[in-house]
Amino acid sequence: MIQTPYLLFLGDAPDQLAAKVAQGIKDWRPENAVAQFRMDGCKADLGIADMTLAQARDAGAKTLVIGVANRGGVISAAWKAVLIEAIEMGFDLASGLHNLLNDEPDLVAAAEKHGRTLFDVRIPTVDYPIANGKKRSGKRCLAVGTDCSVGKMYTALAMDKTMRERGMKSTFRATGQTGILITGDGVPLDAVIADFMAGSVEYLTPDNDDDHWDLIEGQGSLFHVSYSGVTMALVHGGQPDALILCHEPTRPHMRGLPDYTPPSLEQVRDVALTLARVANPACQVVGVSVNTQHMTDTDARAYLAQVETDMGLPATDPFRYGADKLVDALAEV
Amino acid sequence: MIQTPYLLFLGDAPDQLAAKVAQGIKDWRPENAVAQFRMDGCKADLGIADMTLAQARDAGAKTLVIGVANRGGVISAAWKAVLIEAIEMGFDLASGLHNLLNDEPDLVAAAEKHGRTLFDVRIPTVDYPIANGKKRSGKRCLAVGTDCSVGKMYTALAMDKTMRERGMKSTFRATGQTGILITGDGVPLDAVIADFMAGSVEYLTPDNDDDHWDLIEGQGSLFHVSYSGVTMALVHGGQPDALILCHEPTRPHMRGLPDYTPPSLEQVRDVALTLARVANPACQVVGVSVNTQHMTDTDARAYLAQVETDMGLPATDPFRYGADKLVDALAEV
């Protein structure tokens, strides 16, 4: 578990998009974002206070989070100087970079010397069990997509936020690097050994209060041949009571697979529900989350209305129009 | 790739069942089984020649294969003496034990000194790619089960043997430890990192002659919540043209999951085919392999006839009645 709150390290980000991890933390857990740390030439800005390491430490920040994608997969000498100084000042470091903090001898040496921890959230640190399939108390909702990168994490985070605002009991359960950095905890599912995938999802979503909802971040798609096994482990390990279908209607082909046409919402509904009911016979599909970012407001509203008619389910774009419809549906389960 | 042929090490096997890996090699690749090596107290016997290390080496054996499950997960001192002597005499070692050869410093030191290799087939040694889903030449058949341990490996091996006898082009593709030791090659799929599962299956079943069949060893079941993600990766990475449904009709519940009822053959057919057609729209279910070991001959024949009527597919127990029906069906694809 990564200690919060954070100082968000933006380094020398070449543009705003490069800082999307930091942006996610600031958007979804603003209480964790004490300040940003920007180096010379940084082109990203989260619109929060800039602080020095000392200022951030005095303001209570516990962990410096690498909130930026690095260039060329290398932790540069310029970054390194800041990171080592942060360790010396008492910060832990957390990162989702492919280039691991723990593979950098000087960072490791500094962390050992000063008793700090380097969190590489791409690497599992828990020996997960084999899934046992036992029924757990509490409720679980899983976002399943027609494709990768259609807004599953965003949907779960938006629902979690709305539920908390309503005083419902909910927890966003991160299964990817960005989600883990946002919440400080989770399972890096794509890096788990095959036999333990479903067990890691059971571990992530344990027994809970009967009226508590886990909002489980989805991964991949049952229809994406590169990653469908990961999705399958979420459907069975997550034991969901409710599924939210996630879709991006303008995509010409599956992400990274030019020869593959995205499935229809009906196809995803039928296959996902059949498989989910193996682990939880009471599972229902409760709503549709549509990523309408490439559509006009008029087109988006018309599309959502059509989906509601065709599927008989509430449909919304939680980024554009809020997650209330989906949360209303979940409250009925 | 493990060098063949083998000397099969049975150690001090407490009973015949403990030597099932060696038995599998002797049954399916007798040409790889030069001899067996048994220690004092060994209660297993493959019915092949007993040889000393020197005799086996002179008879051409290249690798000593641990063909026995060890007691308590520990490589005993008595075993160790034999294994080190084998290394000194020029054998490579291969093992599917949880207790890795490469975790034993004295074995590692001996192998380094004598330039030999220690193969732990539980551990992937290849950096598998992410699956790209591209259509490959040649044909592929995948065994999918209603449950784990219903005879998927046996079915694929039996079909491969029958096809070779008929002069058809076929290759058994191992995805588990026993299968890898039998053939000397394969992917230990349950130990692969989640993101690379489907890619490892693509790697295992590359482009081939148009009339060549890969017989892919199945793993788990789409209906077994502990391992379904692994099965899913086989269905999509394997890009099968043909599926064989594998079933054990007398099982009261899913293996290791007392609360889970096995699915019907119809359920497995429908879900597996829907998902397989994502990767290969031409995929067909061509036959049913039934493990009838717990049924009388009369009951087994009646059951198989009923399955043929109900499913409209050829059904047999390849162990009891041969794999010809399944191969006949495959030849029509």
Mean pLDDT of chain A: 96
Cβ-nearest to A279 among B225, B271, B275: B225
Q: Stretch A86-103: mean pLDDT, rounded?
A: 95
Q: Stretch B271-299: mean pLDDT, rounded?
A: 98
Chain B closest-CA separation from residue A143 CA (Å): 17
Is the C-alpha dihedral spanning A288, A160, A239, A229 positive or negative? positive
Residue of B nearest to A277 (CA): B223
Distance of CA A267 to the CA centre of its chain: 24
| Distance (Å, whole) CA A164 – CA A212 | 11
Statement: residue A71 has pLDDT above 80: no
Residues of A in contact with B222 (CB under 8 A): 232, 275
Chain A closest-CA separation from residue B88 CA (Å): 34
User: With contact defined as beta carbons under 8 Å apart, do A145 and A153 qualify?
Assistant: no
Count the alpha carbons within 13 Å of B282 in the hemisphere toward its beta carbon.
7
The pLDDT confidence band at residue B258, using thresholds 50, 70 and 90, is very high
Distance of CA A320 to the CA centre of its chain: 19
Cβ-nearest to A198 among B229, B260, B278: B229
Cβ-nearest to B133 among A191, A199, A257: A257
Q: Stretch B89-112: mean pLDDT, rounded?
A: 96
Mean pLDDT of chain B: 96
Residues of A in contact with B259 (CB under 8 A): 133-135
A268-317 tens-digit pLDDT: 999 999 999 999 999 999 999 999 999 999 999 999 999 999 999 999 99
Chain A closest-CA separation from residue B188 CA (Å): 10
Q: What pLDDT, on a 0 to 100 scale, did the predictor assign at position A135?
A: 97
Test A133 with B237 for CB contact under 8 angstroms: no
A154-179 tens-digit pLDDT: 999 999 999 999 999 999 999 999 99
| Distance (Å, whole) CA B205 – CA B185 | 12
Cβ-nearest to A226 among B198, B231, B274: B198
The pTM for the full model equals 0.94
Residue of A nearest to B130 (CA): A226
User: With contact defined as beta carbons under 8 Å apart, do A32 and A24 qualify?
Assistant: no
Residue of B nearest to A222 (CA): B275
Q: What pLDDT, on a 0 to 100 scale, did the predictor assign at position B241?
A: 98
Q: What pLDDT, on a 0 to 100 scale, did the predictor assign at position A70?
A: 78
Test B225 with A199 for CB contact under 8 angstroms: no
Mutation site for B-interface testing, chosen from A228, A257, A277 by largest number of B Cβ within 10 Å: A228
Residues of A in contact with B237 (CB under 8 A): 225
The pLDDT confidence band at residue A74, using thresholds 50, 70 and 90, is confident
Residue A131, chain B, CB below 8 Å: the answer is yes
Q: What pLDDT, on a 0 to 100 scale, did the predictor assign at position A72?
A: 73
The pLDDT confidence band at residue A98, using thresholds 50, 70 and 90, is confident
| Distance (Å, whole) CA A52 – CA A66 | 15
Residue B198, chain A, CB below 8 Å: the answer is yes
